[in-house]
Amino acid sequence: MSLSSVDIGIFIAYVVGLIAIASYVSREKAGHEKDTKDYFLAGNSLTWWAIGASLIAANISAEQIIGMSGSGYAVGLGIASYEWLAAIILMIIGKYFLPIFLKHGIYTMPQYLEKRYNHNVRLVLAVFWIGVYIFVNLTSVLWLGSLAINTVADVDITYGMMFLGAFAAAYSLYGGLKAVAFTDIIQVVLLVTGGFYLSYMTLDMIGDGAGVVTGFKMLTAAAPEKFDMILSADNPFYKDLPGITALVGAVWVLHFAYWGFNQYIIQRALAAKSIQEAQKGIAFAAVLKLIMPIIVVLPGIAAFVLFPNLSAPDQAYPQLMTLMPVGMMGLVFAALVAAIVSSLGSMTNSISTIFTMDIYSHYKPEETQHHYVMVGRVVSFTSLIIAMMCAKPLLGNFDQAFQFIQEFTGFFTPGIVVIFILGMFWSRTTPAGALAAAIGSFVSSLILKLVWPALPFLDRMNFVFVICLVLAVATSLSVNEKSDASHKIEKADFHTTSGYNWVAVAVVIVLTAIYTTWW
């Protein structure tokens, strides 16, 4: 299907408007030239609403909207655990992790690892994250985004990727994180508005025009198996979401790694005006996370009833978009593209931050601030080109890209969580222990994958996490080695405001009600 002239006009207005706003917020005062803090940390000027909106915009992209809707089509509401549990994790991170990171005034997560361990640990993790961001995250966003554009606007997938890459570069390459974060407010408004409308329309359609409540009741009656939050062992998708493991095991490890130690997510909080502003932004993002399954999972379940014979689950969301009326199609399409390009902008900015600040500046320490900013821009653009070239070969044969992303990153995630958690809260952890956890994570994951292929990947991550923890502790105790810098965690202030604490309580109450209802 093709977009109407009205929808095209709405979409063009969005593209032009976003680039214009990004250019406006990226301006510098007369006589001031962007330095690394301006480009990579938005000059530490982000407010709570910009932080919260940008966290969600960076997170909710093609692999979330298209991929999780596809998993909702195939698996059901259980996949929403990835979204809902993130709300609790965010509140924990805001209280216990952010104070430590902000106390050190860091640009990047690898930079913290050098302060806590040594440069070797920093370099290993910097190279790892650059590789994952380019070959897993960027490729998946580009591929799934172009797939949606192909379905809705009948644009060739290759041209769709070229458009998305060019759009992301146009609004984020010059201004850096500041341009990304402040325009993300617009992106989130579009995303939430368009997503709610799509969910409303599909439920109303299932209810034959009787409204969303009737539609939801009919949906649960037509596909009751899609509303199991905890999958039983005989469920065909148990391997993807193995029962209670999803609640008390590896999903927590995944979330701590993603929300707490993932550069392109946590970079917004590092750019906050203050610790209080960062924590308010985290709390805002947690509240938004509670409603995300309505936008990214529920449409996939609805598509299972409306289009039961799709060739691939990841076709669910794009297929639903073809049902949009003229005008709303343009808005929903703009919302989808908004989510895609905001994530692309965030990822490329984080790739350039890590490369420039953790690798390049180490070997070229005497260069000017202007030079480092230019290097960052070149790296951002280059990463997009590489990802466009690799997207189809890497993802073209997967019908549930979201599950591919989770399983691949799961090879490394347990080790990363062990390195950070022990580094922040156990003073005896050594650089050798950290490297043992990093190497052990990949090696043990690979061995378990080969010798026990039937083991669900979340269960495998549980085993690997314990292995990495044992390796890190044993190595730290047996190898006589000291970190390059002292790390005194007792100086971190873990106090939070009463408002923050009340939000945390509310999040727990809401999630308890959800899991009690659909257990």
Q: What is this structure's pTM?
A: 0.88
Q: CA 239 → CA 136, 165, 245, distances in Å?
A: 21, 34, 11
Q: 419 lies in a domain?
A: no
In a domain, 175, yes or no: yes
What is the C-alpha separation between 210 and 252, in angstroms, rounded?
A: 39
Neighbours of 469 (CB within 10 A): 18
Residue 339 covered by a domain:
yes
- pLDDT for 490 equals 47
CA dihedral for 44, 46, 380, 14, sign (positive or negative): negative
- With residue 237 as reference, give the H or E element that holds it: none
pLDDT score for 185: 84
The predicted structure's pLDDT at residue 1:
58
Q: Give a yes or no: residue 517 inside a domain.
A: no
Q: Is residue 10 situated within a structural domain?
A: yes
Distance CA 238, CA 457 (A): 10
Backbone angles phi, psi at 46, to 5 degrees: -75, 135
Count how many domains the chain has. 1
The DSSP secondary structure of 190-210, one letter per residue, reads: HHHHHHHHHHHHHHHHHTTTS
What pLDDT is recorded for position 487? 44
CA-to-CA distance for 57 and 185, rounded, in angstroms?
A: 8
Phi, then psi, of 272 in degrees rounded to 5: -70, 160
Domain assignment present for 436? no
Q: For residue 294, give its domain range.
A: 5-23+35-397
The enclosing domain of 185 has a CATH number of: 1.20.1730.10
Please give the Cα distance from 474 to 176 (Å, whole number). Answer: 42
- As a whole number of angstroms, the distance between CA 85 and CA 256 comes to 11
- Both tokens of 186, joined, read 């617009």
What pLDDT does residue 179 have?
Answer: 85
Whether residue 504 lies inside any domain: the answer is no
Give per-residue pLDDT as tens, 453-512: 888 887 888 899 999 999 999 999 997 765 554 444 446 788 899 999 999 999 999 999
Helices (H), 396-456: 401-409, 413-425, 431-451
- Written as six digits, the tokens of 476 are 């730290």
Please name the residues in contact with 101: beta carbons below 8 A apart, sequence gap of 6 or more.
112, 266, 269, 270
- Give the span between the Cα atoms of 427 and 346, in whole angstroms: 33
Return the pLDDT at 136: 84
**pLDDT by residue (tens digit) across 269-314?**
999 999 999 999 999 999 999 999 998 899 999 999 999 888 888 7
Position 71 scores a pLDDT of 86
Whose structure tokens read 């690799």?
A: 390
* Model pLDDT, residue 331: 81
Could you report the average pLDDT of every consecutive run of 10 residues in the chain (519 residues)?
A: 83 89 78 80 89 88 77 88 90 94 90 90 92 87 82 84 91 84 84 87 91 93 88 75 67 88 90 94 95 91 92 83 83 82 89 95 92 95 94 68 65 93 91 93 93 85 94 90 50 86 96 86
Token reading at 483: 């970190």
Burial classification of residue 154, based on how many CB atoms lie within 10 Å of its CB (0-12 exposed, 13-18 middle, 19 or more buried): exposed
SS3 assignment, position 326: coil
Contact present, 404 and 132 (Cβ < 8 Å): no
Does residue 404 belong to any structural domain of this protein?
Answer: no
Find how far residue 301's CA is from the centre of its chain. Answer: 22
The pLDDT score that the predictor gives to residue 447 is: 95
pLDDT of residue 499: 94
How many C-beta atoms lie closer than 10 Å to residue 81's C-beta?
21
Phi, psi of 499 (to 5 degrees): -60, -45
Tokens in use for 199?
A: 């969910």
